[in-house]
Amino acid sequence: MHFSKLLTSDAAHHKEVSAKYTCNVPGSSEAVRICKKAFQRLHAITQSKVDHIVRQLKCEQITVPPSRRGRHGNRPNKLPESVREDVCKHIRAFPAEQSHYSRARNQNRMYLSPMLSINAMYRDYTKQCLVENKTAVLSSVYASIFNTDFNLGFGSPHTDTCGRCEMEQNPEDLSAHKQKADAAFQQQRQDRQDAQMGNSAFITFDMEKTLPLPKLSVSEAFYLRQLWLYNVGIHLVTKSREAPFFHI
Query: What are the pLDDT digits (tens) for 172-200?
Result: 887 888 888 888 888 888 888 888 888 88
Q: Which of 213, 203, 209, 202 is nearest to 232 (CA)?
A: 209
The last residue of one of the domains, among 124, 154, 184, is: 154
Residues 6+ apart with CB under 8 A from 94: 112, 113, 116, 121, 222, 223
Shared domain for 49 and 88, answered yes or no, is no
Q: pLDDT-based confidence at 247, cuts 50/70/90?
A: confident
Give the pLDDT confidence score for residue 137 in this predicted structure: 92
- Structural domain contains residue 9: yes
Shared domain for 91 and 37, answered yes or no, is no
Total domains in the fold of the chain: 3
Give the pLDDT confidence score for residue 86 in this predicted structure: 93
Q: pLDDT-based confidence at 154, cuts 50/70/90?
A: confident
Distances (CA, A) of 217 to 73, 121, 123: 46, 11, 12
CA distance 22 to 36: 9
The DSSP letter of residue 239 is: S
Average confidence (pLDDT) over 210-218:
72
Q: Which of 124, 52, 49 is nearest to 90 (CA)?
A: 124
The last residue of one of the domains, among 154, 176, 191, is: 154
CA distance 114 to 97: 11
- Structural domain contains residue 8: yes
- Structural domain contains residue 10: yes
Q: Where in 59-215 does DSSP place strands (E)?
A: 97-98, 110-112, 152-154, 202-207, 211-213
Q: What is the mean pLDDT of the chain?
A: 79
CA distance 209 to 231: 7
Bridge partner list, 207: 232
Give the pLDDT confidence score for residue 182 in this predicted structure: 83
The last residue of one of the domains, among 154, 184, 213, is: 154
- Structural domain contains residue 29: yes
Q: pLDDT-based confidence at 166, cuts 50/70/90?
A: low
Shared domain for 93 and 138, answered yes or no, is yes
Shared domain for 86 and 38, answered yes or no, is no
- Structural domain contains residue 71: no
Where are the alpha helices (H) located in 11-158, listed in sequence order?
A: 36-43, 47-58, 81-92, 118-131, 139-149
- Structural domain contains residue 74: no
Choose the weakest-confidence range: 18-22, 154-158, 213-217, 230-234: 154-158
- Structural domain contains residue 166: no
CA distance 23 to 4: 10
Residue 56, helix vs strand vs coil: helix
Shared domain for 52 and 90, answered yes or no, is no
Render pLDDT for 26-61 as a digit per residue (tens, 0 to 9).
Answer: 777 788 888 888 888 888 888 888 888 888 777 777
Q: Reply yes or no on whether the pLDDT at 135 is more than 50.
A: yes
- Domain containing 7 equals 2-58
Shared domain for 212 and 148, answered yes or no, is no
Question: When comparing pLDDT for 203 and 163, which is higher?
Answer: 203
- Structural domain contains residue 163: no
CA distance 245 to 247: 7
Shared domain for 52 and 102, answered yes or no, is no
How far is Cα of residue 197 from the mean position of the Cα atoms in its chain? 48
Q: Reply yes or no on whether the pLDDT at 169 is more than 80.
A: no
Shared domain for 89 and 46, answered yes or no, is no
Percent of the chain clearing pLDDT 90 (strictly above): 16
Render pLDDT for 89-126 as a digit per residue (tens, 0 to 9).
Answer: 999 999 887 765 544 455 677 888 888 899 999 999 99
Residues 6+ apart with CB under 8 A from 194: 200, 202
Shared domain for 135 and 85, answered yes or no, is yes
Give the pLDDT confidence score for residue 142 in this predicted structure: 94
Give the pLDDT confidence score for residue 103 in this predicted structure: 47
Q: pLDDT-based confidence at 229, cuts 50/70/90?
A: confident
Percent of the chain clearing pLDDT 70 (strictly above): 77
Give the pLDDT confidence score for residue 41 in this predicted structure: 86
CA distance 119 to 38: 52
Shared domain for 52 and 93, answered yes or no, is no
